A and B are shown apart, each in its own frame.
Chain A
Amino acid sequence: MEKMQQVVGRARAAFNSGRCRSLEFRLQQLKALERMVQEKEKEILAAIKADLHKCGHNAYSHELLGVLGELALAMDKLPSWAAPQPVKKNLLTMRDEAYICPEPLGVVLIIGAWNYPFVLVMQPLIGAIAAGNAVVVKPSEISENTARLVADLLPQYLDRELYPVVTGGVPETTELLTQRFDHILYTGNSAVGKIVMAAAAKHLTPVTLELGGKSPCYIDKDCDLAVACRRITWGKYMNCGQTCIAPDYILCDPSIQSKVVENIKAALQEFYGEDVKSSPDYERIINKRHFKRIVGLLEGQKIAHGGQTDEASCFIAPTILTDVSPESKVMEEEIFGPVLPILTVKSVDEAIEFINRREKPLALYVFSNNKKLIKRVISQTSSGGVTGNDVIMHFFLSTLPFGGVGNSGMGAYHGKHSFETFSHRRACLIKDLKMEGTNKLRYPPSSQKKVDWAKFFLLKRFNKGRMGLAILALLGIVAAVVIKVSFT
């Protein structure tokens, strides 16, 4: 296992060589990634299955489809994303070139998570490569099959020096974090997020932290419960509940609690059949530690459905808890498992208050036929993202920035937002060395006249846009001449 310093040093030297600056190079690497996903589809699905007991169809649609989509988008849009953007100028800079130039940051570190082990490493990687950076990839050691596969495959398809893969656990990651990076994107939990940010602070490295929290799901009395519950069931129990944006708990009126339970039970039956354990579409908990943690949350709770477990296979049945108390253990931490607590609230105001008393979550869900109510919940709460009348789906629209706020994280990515996260937007103003006339009004010795001219040129008293560029240009020239005459 090579020293981290050498790996990062080599990536930095490779970045400094300038070869990943050209768009052709970046497109070539992205195309190679696309080939990798297409050619090694079987191997990738097998690794994910070994790690999470996830069936091929599920793994394909949750992980590979998204990756292929991001690759196609990045390859299509890269020329327009990377182009300098001209900006609006003022009177003083009218004859100049003013634009924002997107540039690579340098060497980027991506730390992946174990729950969607392939896409959570690949999606940031795509954005980082598109933005022209060198990237050190550190997949999660907990999803060990996928980690090993990524470490095997990337060097076969990508530039080995620019995009190294580093494997290992906590000690290796800690050592890696002592190195200097130009951006770190970390997906995981808040506790480690703090450690990553503190390490980044030593080098003034900007970070994107994709963390988690308890994503609340409010079900209004006025809604189609069958549809709502089916959608919630899909989002809650996919990947055995191990999804950062899974609806963590439900808030609803006591009068509909039992109907909610019935509808979820019906949906579970539809999805997984009578014997969930033998359904090929239901996953397992990643390891014994998490299995024990989740089972511990069931203690003392009213189990309305499910509750069966099998430690040997890390199986926990889809479980629903009712009349849960806000102070119970299951309401203290992000569940990250197939356990769905239902808490009763008497009104949407109570729900909003409940949500606002807690840490800002990564996602917020609200189900209602009443559009105004949905709008109100969104306006009076804060969260990373929102889906109304469904769950999870905002993740799949790459034009929406995906990220947290407060304890659920900082920064965002997906689609163009990835490119922007991994770029530096450099402000550029290119002036003429001639036309010194107008500059005279800013040089000492000063005078009230000069101050008044400065105000004319700079102050935005009114919306000059309405004046028309031609008139402004004329004014500018007249002013320049007058100043040259009066100050020489």
Chain B
Amino acid sequence: NPYAELVARLRAAWLSGKTRPMEYRVAQLEALGRFLDEKKQEILEATALDMGKPRFEAEFSEIILCKNELHETLNNLSHWMKDEHVYKNTATRLDSAFIRKDPYGVVLIIAPWNYPIHLFLVPLIGAIAAGNCVIVKPSEMTKNSEKLVAEVLPNYLDKDCFAVVTASVQETTRLLENKFDYIFYTGIPSVGRIIMTAAAKHLTPVTLELGGKNPCYVSDTCDVQNVAQRVAWGRFFNAGQTCIAPDYILCSVEMQEKLVVALSKVVNDFYGSNPRESPDFGRIVGDKQFQRLYALLCSGQVAIGGETDEAERYIAPTVLVDVLPSDPVMQEEIFGPILPIVTVANMDEAIDFINSRERPLVVYAFSSNSKVVNQVLERTSSGGFCGNDTLMHVTLTSLPFGGIGSSGLGKYHGKFTFDTFSHHRGCLHRNMGMEVFNALRYPPYTQQKLGMVRAASEVKRKGTCTLL
């Protein structure tokens, strides 16, 4: 196996205990901060070359959000690493009981192409903070970013404990034959299954950040202009190549009309009359993805946009109306700058529509009536939920970010990343003395002993008065 030696080397480094002390982890994390600062230009250029990522977007998602996570981690690491003391029962009252946060060992992070720095760096921060050795496998789709990470990142980190591997699909399959102590994968459900199956062979725990079709319900009572701005921003950011982008809209026929008018104005406000010339609108990452998206345009009617340029892999910010559930654009996660509108009679129909499909990464609901927003929240299931906006819930590091069902398993961001990459080990440190109390549990067993054991360890319902 071409990677066996690398994995063995990292495992040996892991066993040496090098990554355990807090000072070591802090030093590595600070180095990551320097990488983001010193190589900011290179990162912005690489992502621009790879997929025409607008500078503002790249700075926001690849630099600012990453630094956020880094600072949150550095500010809190010593607190997160501490043993968590737990409430004890009568039998263990005199003992020390705590949850120890142990690193897993050698961790593998597989990143996708849409946010090529962010989606390996944020998990990496948590994995290092938790004391693991890490192999990072950036996406082979975004060649410039992959090269940057493979050539530059290792210079900032301890090469004994951290490595970057570049690999094609076949090579990744071989990489996965090795035993890892944790695997973190961001990507699509079909590959998620392959990763989990490979992990099962070694009983390796996994976090899978996948995707789906994120529904966006817009009720009739709302400020249409604001809705249009927030939805358009979320949909067209990164030319639609965002796992939490609003995938399709559900609204009434009347609202569809109003939305199209509002969205048309918003697209013009954002990108001008010819978005192709706007520096703030991205491109599709590759020819295959472009072809796939091009084929989806024949769904419903094009109300806004629809222009494409194959040479540039440009697809205009597009809104489709009167889309049917059976149309091609409703069969798969779009992952492009196309926003279909499917009309429904009312909120109940929208909720039924959402619930009859796979559970998505996020459900969006827009209404000035908070009851409506809460109804959609309560009656649906999804990884996360955002009312009256798009994308913003992931900028809050105190909220867990992850999917459910086919949109994924596990979660991260902020402390949740640290917890993901830690084994929570239950520890009870008892007294050698006080043996007389233990006598209750030893054979020979008697009814009397049982009564006393019961009294000492029972959890009584509050409010049950024993006197009555």
Contact = CB atoms under 8 A, between A and B. Distances in A.
Interface of A: 16, 55, 57-58, 60-61, 65, 68-70, 72-73, 75-76, 87-90, 92-93, 98, 100-101, 103, 105-106, 182, 190, 193-194, 197-198, 200-202, 204-206, 209, 211, 223-224, 227-228, 230-231, 234, 270-273, 279-282, 356, 367, 369, 371, 374, 378-380, 382-390, 393-394, 396-402, 405-407, 409-412, 424-434, 436, 439, 442-446, 450-451, 454-455, 458-461, 463
Given A430-B388, A436-B229, A445 B278 contact: yes
Interface of B: 15, 17, 20, 54-56, 59-60, 64-65, 67-68, 71-72, 75, 86-89, 91-92, 97, 99-100, 102, 104-105, 181, 189, 192-193, 196-197, 199-201, 203, 205, 208, 210, 222-223, 225-227, 229-230, 233, 269-272, 278-281, 355, 366-368, 370, 373-374, 377, 381-389, 392-393, 395-401, 404-406, 408-411, 423-433, 435, 438, 441-447, 449-450, 453-454, 457-462
7 contacts: A65-B457, A100-B399, A279-B444, A385-B426, A386-B427, A401-B426, A406-B203
Contact of A454 (B60, B271, B381, B431): B60
Nearest to A18: B379
A409 B411 CA distance: 19
Nearest to A405: B423
A458 B68 contact: yes
B398 A394 contact: no
Contacts of A425: 400, 411
Nearest to B450: A57
Contacts of B192: 204
A193 B205 CA distance: 12
Contacts of A105: 404
A356 B105 CA distance: 12
A410 B67 CA distance: 31
Main secondary structure of the interface of B (DSSP, over half): mixed
A272 B388 contact: no
Closest 7 pairs (CB-CB, A-B): A400-B426, A446-B56, A201-B196, A444-B280, A197-B200, A57-B445, A399-B86
A57 B409 contact: no
B54 A446 contact: yes
B438 A431 contact: no
Contacts of A409: 203
Contact of A442 (B60, B75, B272): B60
A414 to B, nearest CB: 8
A279 B425 CA distance: 36
Contacts of A430: 370, 373-374, 377, 386-388
Main secondary structure of the interface of A (DSSP, over half): mixed
A95 B113 CA distance: 34
A461 B384 contact: no
A393 B460 contact: no
A400 B54 contact: no
B65 A458 contact: yes
A390 B68 contact: no
B283 to A, nearest CB: 15
Of residues B197, B223, B269, which shows the largest number of chain A Cβ atoms within 10 Å of its Cβ?
B197
Contact of B86 (A224, A387, A393, A400): A400
B444 A401 contact: no
A389 B399 contact: no
Given A393-B428, A405-B425, A201 B197 contact: yes
A59 to B, nearest CB: 10
Contact of A459 (B64, B92, B270): B64
Contacts of B227: 433
A227 B434 CA distance: 10
B435 A230 contact: yes
B99 A434 contact: no
Of residues B15, B71, B435, B442, which shows the largest number of chain A Cβ atoms within 10 Å of its Cβ?
B442
Given A69-B459, A424-B404, A460-B75, A204 B426 contact: no
Given A72-B459, A390-B430, A427-B383, A98 B395 contact: no
B201 A194 contact: yes
Contacts of A432: 388
Given A182-B404, A230-B442, A428-B384, 17 more contacts: A55-B445, A57-B450, A224-B432, A230-B435, A270-B443, A383-B425, A386-B100, A386-B425, A396-B89, A405-B104, A406-B105, A411-B205, A412-B424, A429-B384, A443-B269, A458-B65, A460-B71
A204 B405 contact: yes
A204 B396 contact: no
Nearest to B198: A201
B203 A197 contact: yes
Nearest to B385: A428
A89 B462 contact: no
Given A439-B230, A458-B395, A394 B59 contact: no
A60 B60 CA distance: 59
A223 B432 contact: yes
B420 to A, nearest CB: 12
Contact of B281 (A70, A402, A444, A455): A444
Nearest to A425: B400
Nearest to B406: A204
A431 B385 CA distance: 11
Contacts of B387: 428-431
A57 B446 contact: yes
